[in-house]
Amino acid sequence: MAENKLLYEGKAKNVYQTENDDELLMVYKDQATAFNGKKKEELPGKGVLDCQISALVFDYLIKNGIETHLIKNLSDHEQLVKSSEVFPLEVVLRNITSGSLVKKFQVESGLRLSDPIIEFYYKSDALDDPFINDSQVKALRIANDEEIAFIKQMTLKINQLLVPFFSKSGFDLVDFKLEFGKVNGKIILVDEFSPDNCRLWDKKSHDSMDKDVFRKHEGDLVKTYLEVLKRLAMR
């Protein structure tokens, strides 16, 4: 691994080149960041937990017909993935009001939405990932109509699969963020799915079991993620 060229240094992961141009090595880091990197902390053990949780979720999605970039897990914190042309979009789906939606519209937190909301954000650290609408996505040639429709449909399908998946382990899936890429003209799910990019509330206590613990200084993030992994692995 040491000799592999670093292609991208992210907040939670590094991506390296491999001998095969079609494949990349994704290495999870022991780092938590929030507010676009303004709050940052080294948390030993976090990378392994994110990688393990994401592997469980991706394996479940793959078994249920979702195409993803995951090829295999190489170690407890490293994954071999397909190289793809990543859309510079963060696709957020919300089932329950929380976070920026509550702040923006001053609505009560914890309201179950009649239908899921899908929002696009333009991936740019320099611009703080601004909201972008469908016609802006199209006009700026980030994705065409067909791709936008496909990404939305895939996001809804993933939600339909993940709500019962997390519910079985005692979590409400409040919201989450996905990223998509293109390989040989096909759109696939990329990046990761961990409590870093979703909100999970314990069904009984309504406690946050996700990165809000870190954002809001609510406790030990690594302990929380370990509890999530244990509950998901037990199912």
CB closer to ligand C5P out of 129 and 227: 129
Q: Which of 45, 88, 99, 170 binds ligand C5P (CB under 6 A)?
A: 99
Show contacts with ligand C5P in window 24-83 (CB under 6 A).
none
Nearest residue to the partner ligand C5P, using Cβ: 99
Q: Which of 23, 30, 129, 134 binds ligand C5P (CB under 6 A)?
A: 129
CB closer to ligand C5P out of 50 and 90: 90
Q: Which of 54, 83, 155, 197 binds ligand C5P (CB under 6 A)?
A: 197
CB closer to ligand C5P out of 99 and 170: 99
Q: Which of 198, 209, 213, 229 binds ligand C5P (CB under 6 A)?
A: 198
Residue 90 lies near ligand C5P (rule: CB under 6 A): yes
CB of 154 to ligand C5P, least distance (A): 16
CB of 197 to ligand C5P, least distance (A): 3
CB closer to ligand C5P out of 69 and 211: 211
CB of 98 to ligand C5P, least distance (A): 6
Residue 100 lies near ligand C5P (rule: CB under 6 A): yes
The CA distance from 87 to 187, in Å, is 10
Compose the 165-184 pattern: x for residues touching ligand C5P by CB under 6 A, - for all others. Answer: ----------xxx-------
Three-state SS for the chain is: CCCCCEEEECCCEEEEECCCCCEEEEEECCEEEECCCCEEEECCCHHHHHHHHHHHHHHHHHHCCCCECEEEEEECCEEEEECCEECCEEEEEEEECCHHHHHHHCCCCCCEEEEEEEEEEECCCCCCCCEECHHHHHHCCCCCHHHHHHHHHHHHHHHHHHHHHHHCCCEEEEEEEEEEEEECCEEEEECCCCCCCEEEEECCCCCECCCHHHHCCCCCHHHHHHHHHHHHHCC
CB closer to ligand C5P out of 100 and 135: 100
CB of 198 to ligand C5P, least distance (A): 5
Specify burial of residue 217 (Cβ count, 10 A radius: 0-12, 13-18, 19+).
Answer: exposed
Which long-range contacts (C-beta less than 8 Å, at least 24 apart) are formed by 60-65? Answer: 60/161, 60/165, 61/158, 61/161, 61/162, 61/189, 61/193, 64/161
Which residues bind to ligand C5P, rule: CB under 6 A? Answer: 90, 92, 98-101, 129, 175-177, 197-199, 211
